Chain A
Amino acid sequence: MEFFRGTSEVVQLFWIYFVLPVLVGIQLLPLFAGVVVLGLNHGAYGAEIVRGAVSSVPKAQVEGAKALSFSPRDIRWRVVMPQAVLEMLPSFNNLFIQLLKSTAILSFIVVSEVTERGVQVLVPNFGDDIVLIFVLMLLIYLVLAVLITAVMRWLERIGARRLGRRPSASARTAAVAAAH
């Protein structure tokens, strides 16, 4: 965990893509190397979010469930998790947007994603339209980010309704400040 959080994603990407093949003789496909690095990296942050959310569920909830002789499994999945998941959603929203933005670095190992196509293919061929190309690239990312936020808000509303709560605005702003 500390390794992923302590080094740059680009270093990890280059290490797994250029060094690993020399060390163990396995050449990863660029897309696969990218998925592994971004997955592990953001997974390390995601684990932190889940841990924080689970520990933020009031202890009285667990004690209450115990008093009602819920099984440990039911306490975990029917009492703690539904509340923790709702707590996690705003942070995961930020994490997914970070992940979306990080995919641009895969252009360094020539994965044909938006940035690579734009900068390596479109700009050299249609240099006169460079402004348009960049505006479109930025818009693609912006639309995807808005979509992620829309879906997460929708999940938040569903989660809150199933808990019989209203989605809290304060939880969202707190998550924005605590992101990263």
Chain B
Amino acid sequence: MGWDWNYAIAILPEMLGALRVTIEITLLGSLVALVLGLVIAVVRRARIPVVDQLLWAFVEFVRSTPLLVQVFFLFFVLPRFGIVLGAFAVGVIALGVHYATYTSEVYRAGIDAVPRGQWEAAAALSLPQSRVWTGVILPQAVPRVLPALGNYVISMFKEVPLLLGIGVVEVVNKAKELSSETFRPIEPYTIAGLLFLALSLPASILVRRLERRRAAV
């Protein structure tokens, strides 16, 4: 059994439709990860007793356990507590929260890299705390870490297929469906791989270019 072009072209529209789902989950998940990560980083910076330790424990726990198990947990265990989420929502939340623990570390590194003088100057001008963050610290910290954040978005894109475990019809699940309908695994899985490459390669080149530009500044 070799490569069949007719079959490959016939399934392409369906595969692209599934790719759309993958991209939607990636973008929404990234939004959660980027916002929640920033919140975690800023709150941890305040070093509030108890809250800080709890956040530390949460971040370490999420980072040390598999995303797939967390996905299953949200999908199968939460309904026991009366919280019923659809597979798509579970995917977005699980990916977003998992990667928020990574992005929070990235933001932290970026915030730590802002010179102390900036904090002192902001304090000397008696800026309110909110403006210290939004007007002084974050505009300097965030651009510095954009390449690292970009890499995590690419990682998230590649982790979306885990959601086939709870029945989200993303690229790999679609390939699985098609190959079990037609008993031809070659084309669907190969197309799935190529679709991932087609998006993640240009994205990582973009991130690398951004990295170099940052390094040059």
Nearest CB in chain A to that of B145: its residue? A177
Contact A123 B76 (CB under 8 A): yes
Residues from chain A with a CB closer than 8 A to the CB of B126 are: none
> Which of the candidate stretches A27-35, A46-54, A60-68, A134-142 sits at the interface with the other chain?
A134-142
Chain B CB within 8 A of A19 CB: yes
Contact B159 A108 (CB under 8 A): no
Contact B186 A115 (CB under 8 A): no
Given contacts A176-B105, A177-B148, contact A15 B189 (CB under 8 A): yes
Question: What is the interface size of chain B, counting residues whose CB is below 8 A from a CB of the partner?
Answer: 47
Residues from chain A with a CB closer than 8 A to the CB of B192 are: 11, 14
Given contacts A8-B161, A10-B172, contact A177 B106 (CB under 8 A): yes
> Which of the candidate stretches B57-65, B84-92, B130-138 sits at the interface with the other chain?
B57-65
Chain A CB within 8 A of B196 CB: yes
Contact A138 B69 (CB under 8 A): yes
Contact B77 A11 (CB under 8 A): no
When chains A and B are docked, how far (Å) is the Cα of A173 from the Cα of B113?
13
Q: By DSSP majority rule, is chain A's interface helix, strand, loop, or mixed?
A: helix
Min CB gap B63→A, angstroms:
7
Contact B158 A15 (CB under 8 A): no
Given contacts A105-B68, A119-B72, A142-B64, contact A14 B186 (CB under 8 A): no
- Which of B66, B67, B73, B196 has the most C-beta atoms of chain A within 10 angstroms of its own C-beta? B66
Residues from chain B with a CB closer than 8 A to the CB of A134 are: 69, 72-73, 76-77
Chain A CB within 8 A of B155 CB: yes
Nearest CB in chain A to that of B183: its residue? A22
* Complex A-B, nearest 9 residue pairs according to Cβ-Cβ distance, in ascending order: A104-B66, A145-B64, A10-B161, A177-B109, A104-B68, A101-B66, A7-B196, A8-B158, A18-B185
Using a CB–CB cutoff of 8 Å, the interface residues on chain A facing chain B are 2-3, 5-12, 14-15, 18-19, 22-23, 97, 100-105, 107-108, 115, 118-119, 123, 130-131, 134, 137-138, 141-142, 145-146, 173, 176-180
